[in-house]
Amino acid sequence: MGGDNAPGAIVAGAVAAVRDHGVPIVLVGAPRTISEALAAHDAVGEIPIVRAEEALAMDEGALASLRRPRSSIAVACHLVRRGDASAVVSAGSTAGVVATGKLRLRAQQGVLRPAIAVPLPTRPHPTVLLDAGATADVKPEILVQFAHLGAAYAETALGIERPRVGLLTIGGEAEKGNKLTKRAHELLAAVPTLNFTGNIEGHDLLNGVVDVIVTDGFTGNIALKTMEGAVRYAFAELRETLEAGRLSRLAAALQRGRLRDLRKRLDPEVYGGAVLLGLNGTVVIAHGASTAKGVAAACVLARTLARQGTVTHVGERIAAGHKSLRRR
C-alpha cells in the first residue's frame, strides 16, 4: 500500500517478481484494492493476500506507526516475526518503515540503532553507504556498529572479502572532522575485526576508494540526496547544451539512446533498493517513486539477502565486536 505509485506499481512489480524471477510473494494490504490491481495482470489468485485495513501515508512518519498497529507495513513485519515470511519489501514512507520495523521486529541483540544501507553505483561493484537516514543523531559507538552492519552487508550481499571501511568526514587526516567523527575515528581504528582504512571526503563517494562508507543518518541522507540532485542537474544542463545549435541537434539524436542508458545506471531505482540493517528480519526499502521494475528488483534483493543470511551475519559481527571490546 506504500509508495507514490501504489498499489498499481507495487502489484505489477510483485507479479513480475513472481513470474520473471520466481520470488514467492505475499501481498499485504486492503484485499479489494489489491485484487483489482491483480486483475489488471490476470493474476487474481496467483499471489496470496494478507489483510491489513490500514496503511501509513507517504508523509507520515514515526508517530503514525504507533497509532496504527494494523497498518500494512506493521502486518508485513509481523509475518516476518512469526516466520511466515522471510523479508519485507516496502516503497512506503522511509520514516514509517524504520519506526514500524524497530517496533515490530526489534533491534538485533547488541545493536543500539538500525541503519539504512544504500549501494552507490561504483564499479566494479557498488559501494555501501550507511546510514542513509534511519538514525539522525548518533554517538561515536553507534558509528562503529554501523561499520559492522555495513561490512556484514558488503560481505554477504556483495561477496566482498575484508571490505575496506571509510569514515565520511571533512579532511583526510585523523584529527580532522567534527567531534563525532574524530572520536569515531579513534574507535574504528581500534577494532581488529574491521578493515578500517581511514577518513574519506564527499568527493570520494563515487570513486570506489572504499567498500563501505560510514556516517550518521543526517549526513548520509544529505550526501545521498545531494549526489542524486547533482547528477540530475548535470544531465539537465547537458541536455540543454546538446539541444542548442543545429549540429548539436544531430549529435544529440545520435546520443540519445546511450545517454538514457547512462542515466538509468545512475538512477537509484535501478542501482538497487536500500536495506534496513540491525533488525531481527530482512527489510528492503524501495524508492518511494518506484515503478514496477524497481519493486521487482527490490523483491529479488530481499530474497538474496534472506537466502544469504545477512541478518545472521550482522548478528555474528556485532557479537564479535562486543567480545573484542570486552577483551581490550
Which residues bind to a second copy, rule: CB under 8 A? 59, 61, 95, 133, 136-137, 168-171, 173, 176-179, 181, 201-207, 216-219, 221-235, 237-238, 241-242, 244-245, 247-248, 250-252, 254-255, 258-259, 261-262, 265-266
Please return the burial class of 241, using the count of CB atoms within 10 Å of its CB with bins 0-12, 13-18 and 19+: exposed
Q: Which three cell numbers stand for residue 51?
A: 489483510
Give the residue among 205, 245, 207, 211 at the shortest CA–CA distance from 223.
205
Q: Which is nearer to a second copy, 72 or 169 (CB)?
A: 169
Rounded to whole angstroms, the Cα distance separating 100 from 88 reads: 11
Report, in Å, the least distance between residue 277 CB and a second copy.
18
State in angstroms the smallest separation of the CB of 71 from a second copy.
19
Alpha-carbon gap, residue 116 to 130, rounded angstroms: 6
Q: CB of residue 230 vs a second copy: minimum separation in angstroms? A: 4
Task: Choose between 20 and 173: whose C-beta lies nearer to a second copy.
Answer: 173
The residue among 255 and 280 lying less far from a second copy, judged by its C-beta, is 255
CB of 44 to a second copy, least distance (A): 38
Q: Which is nearer to a second copy, 103 or 252 (CB)?
A: 252
Instruction: Supply the minimum distance, in Å, between the C-beta of residue 61 and a second copy.
Output: 8
Question: Which of residues 42 and 240 has its CB atom nearest to a second copy in the complex?
Answer: 240
Query: What are the C-alpha distances in Å from 304 to residues 7, 179, 283, 297?
Result: 24, 38, 12, 11
Integer angstrom CA distances of residue 84 from 101, 151, 224, 226: 16, 28, 34, 39
CB closer to a second copy out of 26 and 63? 63
Minimum CB distance to a second copy smaller for 231 or for 306: 231
* Cα separation, 143 vs 51, whole angstroms: 38
d(CA 324, CA 328): 6
Helices (H), the chain: 8-21, 31-39, 62-67, 72-82, 94-105, 140-157, 179-189, 217-243, 246-265, 268-271, 292-308, 310-327
Buried-state track 43-53, b at ≥16 Cβ within 10 A, e below 16: beeebebbebe
The contacts of residue 17 (CB under 8 Å, 6+ apart) are: 23, 25, 295, 296, 299, 300
- Pick from 230, 214, 228: which is nearest to 135 by CA? 214
Q: Give the shortest CB-121-to-a second copy separation in angstroms.
A: 9
Q: Which is nearer to a second copy, 123 or 326 (CB)?
A: 123
**Smallest separation, CB 82 to a second copy (Å):** 32
How near is the Cβ of 274 to a second copy at its closest, in Å?
Answer: 14
